[in-house]
Structure 1
């Protein structure tokens, strides 16, 4: 930290000018590896539930011990928002020697990118290398970043999309036009996931919408939407026939894709194959044959945010982007 009397403030536009999916994939993969090596501190997320408004607010502190990077992300989830984004976030990076907050940044775009990057890393380690078709169930912001991340680790040729909102689908088609994929808008979830190499689910549903019978052998699934208690996108039968990898056991059991089946005693936490950190550091196996179905259950880890935020902070300093403020 060059000047302990000032804080670098990075606005939404500042972050958007700097952020690149390749950088965030690199940061997230490193964070996962350090998580697998137990070289991090990461207390559980603390939740506030705004039940009257179908929303919640979370605090996510994290510390990457080897690199001396620490901070905390504050983030909401309000899926019914109209005038505001459904997810908004702020990240604070702090000096580990003094505790001084040397950077505060808008982390809304970072949140979308680091979640997408996690899917990209999982796809790299769990999908078949010859995977070239993607099925998107849900066409919101996260669908785009997931697709961009997957596109960096696999040679994707065709994308199938299903969303209950035609407006969301049309917007996504515009956003991913530069990728030059063959695209198909599907009328049903079944059509989007059937005979598809990589399936990405990014919906806020509380009842499963993807059936086991629709998923072909060899498919990899990034289950992203379930990030709070009571949410579930995949039929429990599908979990039982798949190799399930979580980002972290505790938050996954609390609010990930496995949370409802475990609560209902329809799935046992002992059946979870591994966390992603042990796959990345190669202490546990990932995909072992071309016909097995793999599932990545992603709830989001604070160390993903901290590592990604550090990458953005470093680039901001290099490019002289942002505003120095006297915060304290």
Structure 2
């Protein structure tokens, strides 16, 4: 390999990431759909995520998501994302992350990007895509409820409204009254249409919402009554561990990837253990996009996306290309030093 083939290395901070993504919600939803379709046709590599846990900090974890994305914007890489829930009490965000992009030809890393924004963006875009595709065979929801009111909830609301959704009422529930009020204030400032209601209980929120977004830090199921879902809502189960196996088994279930979602103590994983099989899964979002699966009406519909590393790669590559196109790539000169085999 010649020295000329070694790529430069750039470090892209959160300010540039946010600038590259601002106002591009529809484009990012399309990009996420394209990536899911590539995943559905086998043009990705997305091995299991790796969890680093700490005996002295049981609520904390750091997750490695390696992946490779094919297609016209092929890229390999790794997302390294931490979740430290105790941060919230200290006034800083729970999650922090970086994304490393690798050149598929040489294997050299060519960029490191701040990735909490990328992670929230791909999660919200995935949610908006699923909400659109999964409601094409049922009534379009007019009321939405957010259980959990952090960064992910804010991004999901933004992506829904930016892609044409509007609601008569937006419901909020959070175990922290302060956080619920903060989200209510954000919704008011966003000037999105719809009455905003803060609910005192999860039951009130769920029963009054046609579309429910779970974006909590719950480690084990805390929603256990299938009767709360008897009005057959669409549930975007983004935090994966809120619903009891009984609720999952009583619903129609769509995941983003079966093998990823049925592990690590997710609600779907617990449902598999409780039922002894996977028959409760109707299919995957890529199968819905391809027209091979169509969720029936008349049942609660739960979408549980584990979150695929290839989505982070797709959004990260988009950001890199945007920053590079505008001539603003912050390259670290001399990052790769030993480039001659014998000195």
Q: TM-score, structure 1 length as denominator?
A: 0.91
User: 76, 82, 97: which one pairs with 2:105?
Assistant: 97
User: How is 1:33-182 mapped onto 2 (pairs within 5 angstroms)?
Assistant: 33-53=37-57, 54-67=59-72, 68-81=74-87, 82=90, 84-127=92-135, 128-151=138-161, 152-176=163-187, 177-178=189-190, 179-182=192-195
Task: Report the counterpart of residue 321 of structure 1 in structure 2.
Answer: 328
Secondary structure, counterpart of 1:258 in structure 2: helix
Secondary structure, counterpart of 1:85 in structure 2: coil
Q: Following the alignment from structure 2 to structure 1, what is the Cα–Cα distance between the partners of residues 303 and 286?
A: 12
Secondary structure, counterpart of 2:95 in structure 1: coil
Runs of 4+ in 1 over 6 A off after TM superposition: none
Contact 1:134 1:197 (8 Å CA) reproduced: yes
Secondary structure, counterpart of 2:267 in structure 1: coil
Q: Following the alignment from structure 2 to structure 1, what is the Cα–Cα distance between the partners of residues 194 and 44?
A: 38
Deviation at 1:83, TM superposition (A): 5.2
Task: Report the counterpart of residue 209 of structure 2 in structure 1.
Answer: 196
Runs of at least 5 residues in structure 1 that lack an aligned partner in the other structure: 227-231
1:42-61 deviation line (CA, Å, top 9, x unaligned): 11111111232121111111
Contact 2:143 2:170 (8 Å CA) reproduced: yes
CA RMSD, Structure 1 to Structure 2 (Å): 2.0
Deviation at 1:204, TM superposition (A): 2.1
Farther off after superposition, 15-24 or 133-142: 15-24
Task: Report the counterpart of residue 288 of structure 1 in structure 2.
Answer: 296
Of structures 1 and 2, the larger Rg is shown by 2
Secondary structure, counterpart of 1:305 in structure 2: helix
Change (3 A) 1:139 1:9: same
Task: Report the counterpart of residue 7 of structure 1 in structure 2.
Answer: 9
Q: Does 1:224 align with 2:238?
A: yes
Q: Does 1:261 align with 2:271?
A: yes
Deviation at 1:120, TM superposition (A): 1.0
1:95-149 deviation line (CA, Å, top 9, x unaligned): 1111122221000111111111111111111134521210111111111112222
Change (3 A) 1:59 1:25: same
Contact 1:91 1:106 (8 Å CA) reproduced: yes
1:13-60 deviation line (CA, Å, top 9, x unaligned): 111122143333222111111111111111111111123212111111
Runs of at least 5 residues in structure 2 that lack an aligned partner in the other structure: 337-343
Deviation at 1:213, TM superposition (A): 0.8
